[in-house]
Amino acid sequence: MGNWGNMLSRILIAGGIALVGWIVYMWQVEENPVTGQKQHVSLSPAQEIRLGLESAPHMSQKMGGEIPQSDPRTRVVQKMGKFLVEQTLAKKSPWNFQFHLLSDAQSVNAFALPGGQIFITLGLLEKLSNEAELAGVLGHEMGHVIERHTAEQMAKNQLGNTMVIAVGAAASDQGRSPYMIAAFVNQVIQLRYGRHDESEADSWGIRLMEEAKFNPEALIKVMQILKAQSRGGGLAIFQTHPNPDLRIKDIQAYLAKHPPPPEMSDGRPLEELYRLE
């Protein structure tokens, strides 16, 4: 009876932890100010903006620091970002969009922090040819911000961590294996959601490009760049990004159903823009 009582006690504790975690997650619901969709998020828009601003210097430092505004490449990135905000639905959002060029020439990467902090590495920028391709990269990252993907992931991680603790409490006398398995399953779940987020961000990239009159097919060229880098082992894009081949197929399928208007343009070559700055 003693062992049975201990087991029952652990199960009840685990159930209580899991229930509290689930209630907290279900209670954290807000309406997205741009899409109007209900989302489970752990931060308000103001908190996302503050978190992004506070985190931006640290993220910049970890990736070699920012290239200063005196560099024409930084000015081109910032002008493109500002243009996308002013010409698209992003202008009506509450997010504080700011655009950063990182000096890391080895990493082929772009990412967004919550609230509107957008980063692109020199390693990726140098592989882009024209304005449309740059707009595709920045528009994709803006899509992550608009969809509040980071806030959603934080809420999911909080729930997942609570479930892992609950499993650990229930199996406390069975070694570490159940706890480690639960942690691994939680990571797999987060990875799946991350891939869905990437597809949503690609759709936003296309939408913002079209609103700014850039040819959305340029986003396919960006995917081809990432594909080439993945073969060469130089791809630093986070692992939650789907396979470039899959993303290319999804983008092609979307454009087949929603052909871009004929006035779309690839814009000017980036090298030309650098000389003009």
- Token pair, residue 220, equals 């396919």
Do 18 and 173 meet the contact criterion of CB atoms below 8 Å apart? no
Q: Please give the DSSP secondary-structure letter assigned to residue 235.
A: B
Give 32-53 as a DSSP string.
Answer: -TTT--EEE-SS-HHHHHHHHH
Quote the pLDDT of residue 131.
98
User: Per residue in 103-118, is it b (16+ CB within 10 Å) or e — as a string?
Assistant: bbeebbbbbbbbbbbb
* Mean pLDDT across 159-173: 39
Which pLDDT does position 233 carry in this prediction?
47
Copy the structure tokens of residue 271: 């090298």
Top pLDDT among 149 and 102 is at 102
CB atoms within 10 A of CB 224: 13
Nearest by Cα to 83 from 31, 131, 17: 131
- Scan for tokens 């913002």, then name that residue: 208
pLDDT in tens, 220-275: 999 998 888 766 544 444 444 556 788 888 889 889 998 888 889 999 999 999 99
Joined tokens for residue 276: 């003009």
pLDDT digits over 47-105, tens only?
A: 778 878 877 887 787 778 999 999 999 999 999 999 999 999 999 999 999 999 999 99
Cβ atoms of 91 and 85 closer than 8 Å: yes
Q: Please state the rounded mean pLDDT for residues 145-165.
A: 63
Mean pLDDT of the chain: 76
Region label for 82, one of left (φ > 0), alpha (ψ between -120 and 50) or beta (otherwise): alpha
Mean pLDDT lowest among 9-23, 48-62, 102-116, 210-224? 9-23
How many Cβ atoms from other residues are within 10 Å of residue 93's Cβ?
19
Instruction: Give the pLDDT of residue 32.
Output: 72
Residue of 115, 117, 99, 101 whose CA lies nearest to 63: 101
